[in-house]
């Protein structure tokens, strides 16, 4: 028999999947916050950034979360435009074919199966949008380096600018590649799983 605590926790976990709360957090808010913080850190004084984030009121925190969530959609749209974010395998590029599978899956899948597909979707979107956020970060770093080199400021040696830029690119480029691979892998797993559920449902004798 399930305990009272298990009974209380189950609807909460279900809500995270049913209402896409996890997807909003990991695929929208986190990449949005990463881009905002990266832009501020790169183009502003890092000490000022740390002080300002440490003294925010709760009201501004909620506003910031909302802005990060909205920016997450912009990041996803940019990722789709450059090919970093793809929502389905190439064999399902046709809208009618893709929607038919999703409708069949929705009509036949049990709750655990729908949750499994949502897990794949969360990882797929989080890694794809995360990779796009890293692409934006690297672009910001390169733009900042070009800006500093154009200033011809002797206080910052050219070698230091280039070394700093190269270090960031070397660190984040492999991570970006790994996130893109993970997004593609979970995209394939998501649709293979839906196909399998639909095939198994079709093979079952009707009552």
Q: For residue 202, name the pLDDT band (cuts at 50, 70, 90).
A: confident
| Angle made by CA atoms 182, 185, 191, in degrees to the nearest 5 | 140
Q: For residue 13, name the pLDDT band (cuts at 50, 70, 90).
A: low
Name the average pLDDT for the chain: 84
The 10s digit of each residue's pLDDT in 25-60 is: 889 999 999 998 888 878 765 555 555 555 567 777
Size (the chain), residues: 207
Q: In whole angstroms, how far apart are CA 191 and each of 71, 87, 174, 206?
A: 27, 10, 26, 24
Residue 186: Cβ-neighbour burial (10 angstroms; 0-12, 13-18, 19+): buried
Which of 189-207 are b and which e, b meaning 16 or more Cβ less than 10 Å from the residue's Cβ? bbbebbeebbeeeeeeeee
């Amino acid at each position: 028999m399930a305990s009272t605590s298990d009974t209380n926790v189950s609807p909460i976990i279900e809500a995270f999947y049913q209402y896409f709360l996890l997807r909003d957090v990991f695929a929208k808010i986190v990449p949005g916050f990463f881009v905002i913080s990266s832009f501020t850190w790169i183009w502003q004084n890092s000490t000022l950034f740390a002080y300002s984030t440490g003294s925010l009121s709760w009201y501004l925190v909620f506003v910031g979360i909302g802005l990060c969530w909205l920016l997450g959609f912009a990041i996803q749209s940019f990722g789709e435009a450059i090919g970093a974010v793809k929502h389905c395998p190439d064999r399902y590029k046709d809208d009618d074919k893709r929607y038919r599978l999703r409708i069949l899956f929705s009509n036949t899948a049990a709750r655990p199966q729908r949750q499994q597909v949502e897990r794949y979707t969360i990882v797929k979107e989080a890694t794809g949008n995360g990779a796009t956020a890293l692409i934006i970060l690297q672009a910001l770093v390169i733009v900042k380096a070009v800006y500093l080199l154009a200033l011809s400021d002797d206080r910052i040696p050219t070698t230091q600018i280039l070394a700093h830029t190269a270090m960031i690119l070397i660190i984040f480029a492999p991570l970006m590649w790994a996130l893109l691979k993970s997004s593609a892998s979970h995209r394939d797993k998501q649709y293979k799983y839906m196909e399998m559920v639909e095939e198994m449902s079709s093979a079952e004798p009707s009552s």
